[in-house]
Amino acid sequence: MARTFSIGGVHPHDSKISRECRIEPLPIPPTVYLGVAQHIGAPAKPLVAVGDKVKVGQPIAEPGGFVSAFVHSSVSGTVKSIGPRKDLAGKDQLTIEIAVEGDDWLEGIDTSDTLVTEIPADSKAILDKIRLGGVVGLGGATFPTHVKLSPPPGSKCECLIINGCECEPYLTSDFRTLLEKGEQVVVGAAILQQVLGHVRCVFGIEVNKPEAIAHIREVIAKLGYKDMEVLPLRKRYPQGGEKQLIDAVMHRQVGSGALPISVGAVVQNVATALAVYDAVQKNKPVIDNSVTVTGECFPKQANLLVRVGTPLSFIIDHLGGMPADAAKVISGGPMMGRAIANLDAATLKGTSALLFLTEKQTRRAPESACIRCGKCADACPMGLEPFLLNRLAKAGGRLEDLEANAVQDCIECGCCLYSCPARIPLLDNIRLAKGEVLGAIRARAAAAKAAAEAAKK
């Protein structure tokens, strides 16, 4: 019987209407816009100036701190400007604008399709290639991968989990990657195994992707890698959540505020494993990613290989233009994705999908009073009480109570909102409250650090 996580979860319709669409390369746009904040942590610092000529794969921004990542040019051309530009949410972000001139790649990058299966023995050299390649988690969090692969002293990885669940409705780029680039993904997983000390590796794939399960099993058998297996998982949202996936695979629960390594786990997304392969075996940094373009109102479903920094409007125009009945465009899936405020914004490393929804699909039913049914608590995969967190959030100024009830552990999956018969905007209210609490926690930590440094003087 397929495994799953132990508490909560919902079962939205798959809506994988683009699952048969092969990944096709999108033409290169005339201009790309590369933000320096493409990852969790400190923004990168520009390495180029206006007027500089750059090649595909050339570093154009370096890490701005320990938790940070390189940004590389996804095209060849001339740097036209460096300054603030609106991102997907409509906020100003420092952005490097490059006018495209041909497609000239940096020397040393292997652009061939030849599969390289021999894994380097030097784990430190592998880790350095991953860092220099600007590899980040491509499952949504965009946490710098080289940091994630460097457990703190006293911690030891026992199991590497490759997340192939893709449990969000509509998204199919990871599924297509498993089918079309399965060999490279498996080699990438073996490279990650090497860095972590030849640990057990498990591919977690939901049972609604039987072709992917069969294909990856065949690839593992063909390549002969040891301690690597495919584990079918029940179709259940959010099966691909990091903590939920660890629960399903290892039957271990990550504690509040703790990291997966605390229970001996490291989780990496399918696309991240592919990026690791590219960086280590091909010297290719993260300059493109697979993006699902979908929605019932969108006339042409697609999975596209898109250069990072491509304007969203360019993608839409390439596929025939904005549908007349599209009321909202989402970056990501319908459960955890965010509405796009600016279609002139550019894709990021972590952009996984553009989802087009109609007015009918986005219209919320009128909110009514809570009937105290407890369905939101039953659905919460983190074991929280959304009805209580919502009440505290609406009361205002209850940050200590919100923190005591672990609002900071909310993964913003939307299960509470999906399951609420009263149509209360639970996620909206809880998300805002969580932001306030995290801000207060960071301020406390900064004050404590400042006090400790002052005491040393």
Domain range annotation of the chain:
123-281, 375-456
Q: Are strands 353-358 and 288-294 parallel, antiparallel or unpaired?
A: parallel
For the stretch 315-349, pLDDT in tens is: 999 999 999 999 999 999 999 999 999 999 999 99
Burial class of residue 369 in the structure, from the number of CB atoms within 10 Å of its CB (0-12 exposed, 13-18 middle, 19+ buried): exposed
> Which ranges of 256-329 would DSSP assign to H, the alpha helix?
270-281, 312-318
Query: In this structure, what token pair is assigned to residue 137?
Result: 């988690």
Residues 237/272/84/304 CA torsion (nearest 10 deg): -80
Q: Nearest CA to 291 among 206, 341, 348, 210?
A: 348
Judged against a pLDDT cut of 80, whether residue 97 lies above it is answered with: yes
Q: What is the pTM (predicted TM-score) of this model?
A: 0.95
What pLDDT is stored for residue 154 in this prediction?
86
Query: CATH says 123-281 is which class?
Result: alpha beta
Q: How far apart are CA 45 and CA 41, in angstroms?
A: 12
Q: How far apart are CA 367 and CA 358, in angstroms?
A: 20
What pLDDT is stored for residue 397 in this prediction?
86
Q: How far apart are CA 71 and CA 331, in angstroms?
A: 21
Judged against a pLDDT cut of 80, whether residue 177 lies above it is answered with: yes
Q: How far apart are CA 347 and CA 306, in angstroms?
A: 8
CB crowding 236-275: b at 16 or more within 10 Å, else e: bbbbbbbbbbbbbbbebbbeeeeebbebbbbbbbbbbbbb
Give Cβ neighbours of residue 447 (< 8 Å, ≥ 6 apart).
Answer: none
Query: In this structure, what token pair is assigned to residue 444?
Result: 């406390």
Residue 140 — pLDDT band, cuts 50, 70, 90?
confident
Average pLDDT over residues 234-253: 96
For the stretch 253-304, pLDDT in tens is: 999 889 999 999 999 999 999 999 999 999 999 999 999 999 999 989 999 9
Percent of the chain with pLDDT over 70: 100
What pLDDT is stored for residue 57 in this prediction?
98
What pLDDT is stored for residue 339 in this prediction?
93
Q: In this structure, are residues 102 and 67 in contact, taking their beta carbons and an 8 Å threshold?
A: no
The rounded mean pLDDT for the chain is 95
Counting every residue, how long is the chain? 457
Average pLDDT over residues 196-218: 97
What pLDDT is stored for residue 296 in this prediction?
95
What pLDDT is stored for residue 257 in this prediction?
86
For the stretch 102-126, pLDDT in tens is: 999 999 999 999 999 999 999 999 9
Give the other-Cβ count within 10 Å of 448's Cβ: 10
Q: How far apart are CA 337 and CA 353, in angstroms?
A: 9
What pLDDT is stored for residue 172 in this prediction?
98
For the stretch 10-59, pLDDT in tens is: 999 999 999 999 999 999 999 999 999 999 999 999 999 999 999 999 99
Average pLDDT over residues 207-229: 96
What pLDDT is stored for residue 141 in this prediction?
81
| Percent of the chain that is helix, strand, coil (3-state, to 5) | 30, 20, 45
